[in-house]
């Protein structure tokens, strides 16, 4: 069994236990294990052989035992028993958006429904409306959900779910004799948040043996096509992949072609033609038929008179025009990140103490971390009461002393934005925090106008610094809230509130389209991992990928700022008293509009230079030693 298959077993166990009505912490333990395994960078089997399963984050004794049994015997007694008890078909029912385990259990017990097909049939026949809490409307919703699911199943996967496998295959290809170079191309290389299929490229003189080895890789379930320089396979997890092999002298054009996007390539080929060159995966060819071989991708762009265009920009959103003029932005890089302003500790649903989290962040080169545990209304996560929040402050101060001057630990909160847009703490509690991340986790299915107004109300709170995972989407089966994003982004720009790119690959929220528009409107962004464990800090690169796709320059992302500047920014916020009682023109403009624009991100056509958000006049923070709290608290 590979990592993905192991992960699937634990995800299924979590679902089955939930239908069974098991206590939540057990369910969460399995889900966490599943998530970890799905994104784990090493082959779990190898770790198992070294006897080091317990070193994998989120893997405790109980999970380690089960992994051991699965790898030794290929099955798991506990799982088999569970499947005998609860029809496994119910798992697919849980995948229907907004359909929880209670309903699934009810359909099973009262209507004997044990599969998605049976559920669809019952909903169509009107056999569910009489059940408690159900009606005609909920039947229609279920049918719509099943349709959505079908569309999705045929479609794309979250980047985070395919990342590990892609890296494994790359390592495998690079290790084959005769392979001089290998890369993953396509949407993965462009860091799209979802992936249709994987595309691998290798440079070698003799393609045959490489094709052969690829098709026999243990993760390959079926070979779909097998030619002299191209093969297509399907992996055990259903994901498809193409491999192409050409000699090293042609690797630049090969990589350029299969990195795409298709629209980018079409534009590039037109440009080449205007210069009397035809561009293919094999070469640039002159009208005379003479080939110009490019071993490196940079060479392809150079020959066409262009600056090198980073893969994340290759979506035909004006990047070719900018490259021709030499005006491509200097994009943010992983190494630019200096802070993470959204992380959890054992004070709520995190796995490690806040000092351990801080040390983990420090070990990864960060200079600042905010501990933002959940607020009180989020009971399942152990959200903090104001009293506990005060107690946490003492521990943070102590941890700061242990960490010393080189690292800044902030006390924040991930404050729940309640159903009506009020925040989950009183103003004085919010004012005592160094940083406030406001997020909505519950009732995300409110009608568009309501949920848009709710978010804008939170944005307009003078205490809020960052909006966490703004749309609330969760891969694979929760769509984001039905927000008027244009209104939300405008409000954020106006209020100077930063918008999070949540780097967890299950979220990637904001996605690139909205993030691009946010920058265009002058918003600030923050790249946060929402870490519940130090291993989660390693997910930051997913967030950086999205920011790069949004054309983000480092200074537009507050996470790149030195801690001193960040503190100054934070200290200058949250002192404006209550939100304006009278709507200014600007806040009016930010209100949701009746004639709502399309929900999709606007096509990113205009390429005008974007300025970072105009900074609000900041009250200079009182001089402080590093490690003490910024002025906001003292100013109260």
- Concatenated DSSP letters of 353-397: -HHHHHHHHHHTT-SEEEEEEEBTT-GGGTPBPHHHHHHHHHHHH
In this chain, which stretch among 63-71, 112-120, 192-200, 381-389 interacts with ligand DGT, using CB under 6 A?
A: 192-200
Pick the closer one to Zn ion by CB: 15 or 530.
530
Tell whether residue 242 is a contact of Ca ion (CB under 5 A): yes
Q: Does 186 bind ligand DGT (CB under 6 A)?
A: yes
As beta bridge partners, residue 158 has: 194
Give me 635's structure tokens.
């100013």
Which residues fall within 8 angstroms of residue 36, CB to CB, at 6 or more apart? 56, 57, 58, 59, 535
Q: Kindly indicate which of the ranges 189-197, 224-232, 322-330, 515-523 contains the residues binding ligand DGT, using the contact rule CB under 6 A.
A: 189-197
Beta carbons within 8 Å of 43's beta carbon, 6+ residues apart: 2, 3, 168
Q: Residue 196 interacts with ligand DGT (CB under 6 A)? A: yes
**Number of residue whose CB is nearest ligand DGT:** 260
Nearest to 575, CA basis, from 490, 633, 520: 633
Contacts with ligand DGT by CB under 6 A: the residue count is: 13
Strand order in the sheet with 525-528: 339-343, 368-374, 408-416, 435-439, 466-467, 498-502, 525-528
**Residue 345 binding result from Zn ion, ligand DGT, Ca ion, none, given CB thresholds of 5 to 8 Å by partner type:** none
Q: Is 248 helix (H, G, I), strand (E, B) or coil?
A: helix
Of 258, 425, 551, 569, the one binding ligand DGT by CB under 6 A: 258
Instruction: Out of 57, 160, 252, 260, point to the residue binding ligand DGT (CB under 6 A).
Output: 260
d(CA 542, CA 299): 27
Q: Which is nearer to Ca ion, 239 or 451 (CB)?
A: 239
Identified binder of ligand DGT from the candidate list 187, 256, 502, 529, rule CB under 6 A: 187
Q: Should residue 530 be labelled a site residue for Zn ion when binding is judged by CB under 5 A?
A: yes
- Report the residue number, 196 or 612, with the smaller CB distance to ligand DGT: 196
The answer to whether residues 452 and 592 touch, using CB atoms and an 8 Å cutoff, is: yes
User: How far is C-alpha 145 from the geometric centre of its chain's CA atoms?
Assistant: 22
Q: H or E segment at 254?
A: helix 251-259
Q: Interface residues for Zn ion in 405-424 (CB under 5 A)?
A: 414
Nearer to Zn ion, 179 or 506 (CB): 506
Q: How do beta strands 498-502 and 525-528 pair? A: parallel
**Structure tokens given for 311:** 């893969």
Residue 265 partner contact from ligand DGT, Ca ion, Zn ion, none using kind-dependent CB cut-offs of 5 to 8 Å: ligand DGT
Q: Is residue 114 at the binding interface for ligand DGT, with CB under 6 A as the rule? A: no
**Position of minimal CB gap to Ca ion:** 186
Q: 112: burial class by Cβ within 10 Å (0-12, 13-18, 19+)?
A: exposed
Within residues 197-216, the interface with ligand DGT by CB under 6 A covers 197, 199
Minimum CB separation of residue 300 from Ca ion in Å reads 19
Q: Least distance from C-beta 269 to ligand DGT, angstroms?
A: 7
Closest CB 260 distance from ligand DGT, rounded Å: 2
- Token representation of residue 573: 């916020």
* Span near Zn ion by CB under 5 A; candidates 14-22, 73-81, 184-192, 526-534: 526-534
Residue closest to 323 by CA, chosen among 285, 400, 268 = 268
Q: Do residues 501 and 547 lie in contact, with contact meaning Cβ atoms separated by under 8 Å?
A: yes
The footprint of ligand DGT on residues 394-433 (CB under 6 A) is none
Among 35, 197, 434, 479, binds Ca ion (CB under 5 A): 197
Q: How far apart are CA 522 and CA 543, in angstroms?
A: 19
Under the criterion CB under 6 A, does residue 232 sit at the interface with ligand DGT?
no
Query: Smaller CB distance to Ca ion: residue 425 or 542?
Result: 542
Q: Is residue 266 a contact point for ligand DGT (CB under 6 A)?
A: yes
Does 536 bind Zn ion (CB under 5 A)? Our answer is no
> Which stretch in 210-218, 241-249, 430-438, 618-626 sits in contact with Ca ion by CB under 5 A?
241-249
447, with CB counted inside 10 A (0-12, 13-18, 19+), is exposed
Please name which of 437, 436, 362, 349 lies closest in space to residue 399, comparing C-alpha atoms: 362
Choose between 192 and 629: whose C-beta lies nearer to Ca ion: 192
Say which residues have a Cβ less than 8 Å from residue 39's Cβ, sequence separation at least 6.
160, 161, 163, 164, 505, 539
Q: Which residues bind Zn ion (CB under 5 A)?
A: 414, 530
Q: Which residues bind Ca ion (CB under 5 A)?
A: 186-187, 197, 199, 242
Q: Which residues bind ligand DGT (CB under 6 A)?
A: 186-187, 195-197, 199, 257-258, 260-262, 265-266
């Amino acid at each position: 069994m590979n990592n993905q298959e192991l992960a699937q077993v634990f995800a299924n166990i979590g679902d089955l236990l939930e239908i069974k009505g098991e206590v939540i912490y057990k369910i969460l333990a399995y889900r966490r294990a599943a998530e970890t395994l799905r994104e784990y960078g090493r082959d779990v089997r190898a770790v198992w052989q070294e006897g080091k399963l317990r070193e994998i984050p989120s893997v405790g004794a109980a999970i380690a035992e089960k992994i051991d049994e699965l790898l030794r015997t290929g099955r798991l007694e506990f799982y088999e028993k569970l499947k005998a008890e609860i029809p496994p078909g119910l798992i697919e029912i849980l995948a229907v958006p907004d359909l929880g385990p209670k309903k699934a259990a009810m359909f099973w017990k009262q209507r004997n429904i044990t599969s998605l097909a049976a559920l669809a049939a019952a909903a169509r026949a009107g056999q569910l409306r009489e059940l408690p809490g159900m009606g005609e409307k909920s039947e229609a919703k279920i049918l719509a959900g099943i349709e959505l699911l079908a569309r999705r199943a045929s479609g794309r996967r979250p980047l985070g779910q395919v990342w590990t496998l892609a890296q494994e295959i790359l390592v495998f290809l690079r290790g084959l004799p005769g392979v001089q170079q290998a890369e993953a191309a396509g949407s993965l290389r462009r860091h799209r948040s979802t992936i249709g299929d994987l595309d691998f490229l290798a440079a070698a003189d003799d393609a045959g043996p490489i094709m052969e080895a690829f098709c026999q890789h243990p993760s390959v379930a079926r070979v779909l096509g097998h030619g002299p320089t191209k093969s297509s396979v399907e992996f055990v997890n259903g994901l498809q992949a193409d491999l192409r092999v050409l000699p090293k002298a042609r690797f630049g054009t090969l990589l350029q072609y299969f990195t795409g996007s298709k629209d980018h390539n079409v534009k590039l080929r037109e440009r080449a033609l205007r210069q009397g060159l035809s561009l293919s995966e094999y070469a640039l060819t002159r009208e005379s038929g003479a080939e110009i071989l490019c071993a490196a991708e940079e060479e392809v762009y150079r020959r066409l008179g262009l600056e090198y265009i980073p893969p994340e920009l290759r979506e035909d959103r004006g990047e070719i025009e900018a490259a021709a003029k030499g005006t491509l932005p200097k994009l943010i890089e992983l190494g630019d990140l200096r802070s993470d302003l959204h992380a959890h500790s054992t004070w709520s649903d995190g796995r490690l103490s806040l000092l351990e989290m801080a040390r983990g962040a420090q070990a990864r080169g960060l200079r600042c971390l905010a501990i933002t545990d959940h607020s009180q209304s989020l009971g399942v996560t152990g959200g903090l009461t104001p009293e506990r929040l005060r107690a946490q402050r003492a521990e943070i101060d102590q941890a700061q002393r242990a960490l010393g001057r080189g690292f800044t630990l902030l006390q924040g909160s991930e404050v729940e934005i309640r159903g009506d847009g009020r925040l989950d703490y009183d103003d004085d509690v919010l004012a005592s925090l160094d940083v406030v991340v406001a997020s909505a986790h519950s009732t995300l299915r409110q009608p568009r106008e309501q949920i848009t107004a709710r978010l804008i109300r939170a944005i307009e709170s003078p205490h809020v610094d960052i909006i966490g995972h703004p749309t609330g989407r969760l891969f694979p089966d929760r769509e984001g809230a039905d927000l008027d994003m244009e209104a939300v982004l405008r409000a954020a720009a106006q209020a100077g509130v930063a918008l999070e790119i949540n780097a967890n690959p299950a979220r990637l929220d904001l996605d690139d389209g909205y993030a691009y528009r946010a920058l265009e409107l002058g918003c600030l962004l923050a790249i946060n991992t929402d870490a519940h464990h130090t291993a989660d800090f390693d997910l930051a690169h997913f967030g950086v990928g999205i920011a790069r796709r949004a054309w983000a320059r480092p200074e537009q992302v507050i996470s790149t700022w030195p801690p001193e500047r960040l503190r100054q920014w934070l200290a200058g916020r949250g002192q404006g008293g209550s939100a304006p009682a009278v709507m200014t023109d600007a806040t009016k403009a930010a209100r949701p509009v009746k004639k709502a624009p399309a929900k999709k991100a606007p096509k990113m056509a205009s390429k005008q230079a974007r300025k970072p958000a105009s900074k609000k006049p900041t009250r200079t923070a009182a001089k402080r030693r590093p490690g003490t709290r910024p002025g906001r608290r003292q100013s109260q």
